[in-house]
Chain A
């Protein structure tokens, strides 16, 4: 935490006494207009991330978690479109920003890490060429200094003998190593925000552990805000400060990691956490959520989870509004698992 900023911004941040959020997303709606009908991939999503904070955005396939990330980056292509809402990055609205402005921000102030590092890496260019280009695209720096900066960045993400790796082509590196290089590139220009879309999903357990460890340390050190998109709650449990759980295009629950994992309020979070094997007795049947992930086309009105929810009743035909259960803890549910007295 940078002390200077902290004291400066104290007045404007009343609730939890920290700085102004780096990113504020308000009522974001991103829809895709396909032949089969409008797909409400992101439907009224609001969240914020502060400097140095890691937000875990968890959800299953089709929950809209990746599209949320792409919306922030301005990477939604037709037939998709941001229908309404605001994305404020350091106070600047990205929804109305020009493509040139977004281009300038991307890779500079906002960086991204994909599941497949080859989305970032060019297979025919050496690692150093790509990293130097990434630096020089956004700031004036001579080649030698830029190369030194690239060297430092590789060292920072725990790559052994960075000098050799700089001279390598991406295909000469292992999958874990490539992902590290992609992460190093993301951190190159010391961005204010990094959006990481399932960056460890394709990696092995021991390699994943290394990368989680390094990403966490880097955010703490550089004060970069991070959105870590994943389907695996166990990954964000060990990584994120706060968690937002998405289901069918909406955030159904947000809160501090410990609170969401230990005391989930939304029946979907409860079901998801309860179905994990470690939450069940060895050898017993697992608690399962019945049914399947709903189609986003022609989603019935009301709560999207009602068909699978054990607590659903007639109230659930009305779309639940976001309720602030307690400071920093929001849910979208008519029947949350509140701890009632005597329960």
Chain B
């Protein structure tokens, strides 16, 4: 406790020291401070690096893979179920082996990552946009509107996300657009609750009263004043939720209700290999599984560090 106090005053003093210098060379913006604190953890730095590599690999998949696994002209059925390290018929090494249809698994995984990440991130962004607006207006408007909206959120959150998504895809059918819709519905409520929580705290602060007494419009107060101060928890929840969304999509696809064979995400690849597991051809399921695991773990590690850095109550 003593440390906390002095640390704060030390921080305040550090700020003051800067203002006293007239050089103004290094203005410490909140962003710079955030970056330097984030990079303090090696684990988080490693996770961020891994995640960056994964995203780059997914984006540039066509340039770094030996085949396009969904171009039938490049896939030879005779290459089917080859173990890792085999020579393909078309003369390249399949380091991770091939699947039942003769596709190179390394290539299939990178293409699968593209779809998994795209679905996770797209649904995350849409869900954030919806959840943020709902949560912010609920906190700002208050009253019956808030009660009504937050009861819906509570109701939604009382069902497991997987169940909600499963019911929706059962209703809507397969397809990348439908799975994104299902993931958005399953997730928006988390964001709404997060934003409302922090917006309620911010709304009661004096700078909001000051903005009101300056005659600024409600929209401006909500989006220009309150929202930027609610972003920190939203980013944290957003990161972790994106990992959830990717896992959820993989689950649905594995169960055969998610993405179709024509748009094979990591979940579809795992499902495809599953039938060969018992015959000892482990690689068809295991390698996509490891890719999924690494992706989700690195997102979560980054998210954890974001939470530590952005949460003022955890400040050391």
Q: In the complex the two chains form, is B10's CB within 8 Å of A297's CB?
A: yes
Q: In the complex the two chains form, is B20's CB within 8 Å of A295's CB?
A: yes
Q: Which of B1-51 contact A (CB under 8 A)?
A: 1-3, 5-7, 9-14, 16-17, 20
Say what secondary structure dominates the interface of chain B.
helix
Min C-beta distance of A74 to chain B, whole Å: 10
Min C-beta distance of A292 to chain B, whole Å: 7
Q: How far is the CA of A75 from the CA of B16 in the complex (A)?
A: 27
Q: In the complex the two chains form, is A295's CB within 8 Å of B14's CB?
A: yes
Count of A-B residue pairs with CB < 8 Å: 47
Q: In the complex the two chains form, is B3's CB within 8 Å of A62's CB?
A: no
Q: Is A77 an interface residue (CB 8 A)?
A: yes
Q: In the complex the two chains form, is A62's CB within 8 Å of B9's CB?
A: yes
Q: How far is the CA of A80 from the CA of B14 in the complex (A)?
A: 16
Which listed residue, B3, B9, B20, touches A79 by the CB 8 Å rule?
B3
Chain B residues within an 8 Å CB radius of A297: 10, 13-14, 17
Q: Is A182 an interface residue (CB 8 A)?
A: no
Q: In the complex the two chains form, is B13's CB within 8 Å of A80's CB?
A: no
Q: How far is the CA of A32 from the CA of B9 in the complex (A)?
A: 11
Q: Is A76 an interface residue (CB 8 A)?
A: yes
Q: Which of B257-294 contact A (CB under 8 A)?
A: none
Chain B residues within an 8 Å CB radius of A39: 6, 10, 13
Min C-beta distance of B35 to chain A, whole Å: 14
Q: Which of A86-116 contact B (CB under 8 A)?
A: none
Closest to B18 in A: A295
Query: B10, B14, B16: which has the most chain A beta carbons within 10 Å?
Result: B10
Q: In the complex the two chains form, is B6's CB within 8 Å of A32's CB?
A: yes
Q: In the complex the two chains form, is B10's CB within 8 Å of A296's CB?
A: yes
Q: In the complex the two chains form, is B14's CB within 8 Å of A77's CB?
A: no
Q: Is A41 an interface residue (CB 8 A)?
A: yes
Q: In the complex the two chains form, is A70's CB within 8 Å of B2's CB?
A: yes
Q: In the complex the two chains form, is B3's CB within 8 Å of A36's CB?
A: no
Given contacts A34-B10, A62-B9, A296-B10, contact A80 B3 (CB under 8 A): yes
Q: In the complex the two chains form, is A292's CB within 8 Å of B16's CB?
A: yes
Q: In the complex the two chains form, is A298's CB within 8 Å of B17's CB?
A: yes
Q: How far is the CA of A67 from the CA of B9 in the complex (A)?
A: 12
Min C-beta distance of B291 to chain A, whole Å: 38
Which listed residue, B2, B9, B11, B16, touches A77 by the CB 8 Å rule?
B2
Q: How far is the CA of A36 from the CA of B13 in the complex (A)?
A: 10
Closest to A114 in B: B1
Which listed residue, A61, A78, A119, A298, touches B3 by the CB 8 Å rule?
A78
Q: How far is the CA of A195 from the CA of B273 in the complex (A)?
A: 71
Q: How far is the CA of A284 from the CA of B210 in the complex (A)?
A: 30
Q: How far is the CA of A80 from the CA of B3 in the complex (A)?
A: 7
Q: Which of A37-74 contact B (CB under 8 A)?
A: 39, 41, 61-62, 66-67, 70
Q: In the complex the two chains form, is A36's CB within 8 Å of B10's CB?
A: yes
Q: In the complex the two chains form, is B5's CB within 8 Å of A66's CB?
A: yes
Q: In the complex the two chains form, is B16's CB within 8 Å of A295's CB?
A: yes
Chain B residues within an 8 Å CB radius of A292: 16
Chain A residues within an 8 Å CB radius of B3: 77-80
Chain B residues within an 8 Å CB radius of A32: 6-7, 10
Q: In the complex the two chains form, is A67's CB within 8 Å of B6's CB?
A: yes
Q: How far is the CA of A330 from the CA of B65 in the complex (A)?
A: 80
Q: How far is the CA of A61 from the CA of B9 in the complex (A)?
A: 8
Q: In the complex the two chains form, is B13's CB within 8 Å of A296's CB?
A: yes
Chain A residues within an 8 Å CB radius of B1: 77, 119
Q: How far is the CA of A292 from the CA of B13 in the complex (A)?
A: 11
Q: How far is the CA of A34 from the CA of B14 in the complex (A)?
A: 10
Jot down 12 A-B pairs with beta carbons below 8 A, ordered by A: A32-B6, A32-B10, A34-B14, A36-B10, A62-B9, A67-B2, A75-B2, A77-B1, A292-B16, A295-B13, A296-B13, A297-B14
Nearest 5 pairs of A and B residues by beta carbon: A295-B13, A295-B17, A36-B14, A77-B3, A295-B16
Q: 18 new A-B pairs (CB below 8 Å) besides A34-B14, A67-B6, A119-B1?
A: A32-B6, A34-B7, A36-B10, A39-B6, A41-B6, A62-B9, A62-B13, A67-B2, A75-B2, A79-B3, A80-B3, A80-B6, A295-B13, A295-B14, A295-B16, A295-B17, A297-B13, A298-B17
Q: What residues of chain B have their CB less than 8 Å away from a CB belonging to chain A?
A: 1-3, 5-7, 9-14, 16-17, 20
